[in-house]
Amino acid sequence: MVPQNFKDILSNGEHVGLYQTIAMFIFLACFVGLLVYVFSRSKKHYEEEANAPLQDDIEENDPFFKKN
């Protein structure tokens, strides 16, 4: 029988639990790495992006700015 999809391949394997555990550890490592990266940045790095919705001024040299 030829497997029809990825789920069929993994459900009939010998080390299915091991593959799931490895996948979970890879996901957790990436997630924790991203959290460390984000929280290790200084607040100064995020100030401009944090204030962007509150700024009313539109720069004249913005290529998407059109005067009416």
What are the structure tokens assigned to 38, written together?
Answer: 């984000």
Q: What is the extent of the structural domain holding 42? A: 28-53
Q: Is residue 33 assigned to a domain?
A: yes
Q: Read off the pLDDT of each residue in 2-13 and give the average, rounded to a whole number.
A: 69
**How many separate domains does the chain show?**
1
pTM of this prediction?
A: 0.55
Q: Is residue 65 assigned to a domain?
A: no
The DSSP output letter for 54 is G
Q: Is residue 58 assigned to a domain?
A: no
Q: Is residue 37 assigned to a domain?
A: yes
Q: What is the pLDDT of residues 55-66, one digit of tens each?
A: 666 655 566 666
pLDDT bucket at 68, cuts 50 / 70 / 90: low
Q: Is residue 16 assigned to a domain?
A: no
How many residues belong to the chain? 68
- CA-CA distance, 52 to 38, in Å (whole number)? 19
21: helix, coil or strand?
helix
Q: What is the pLDDT of residues 25-58, one digit of tens each?
A: 999 999 999 999 999 988 888 887 777 766 666 6
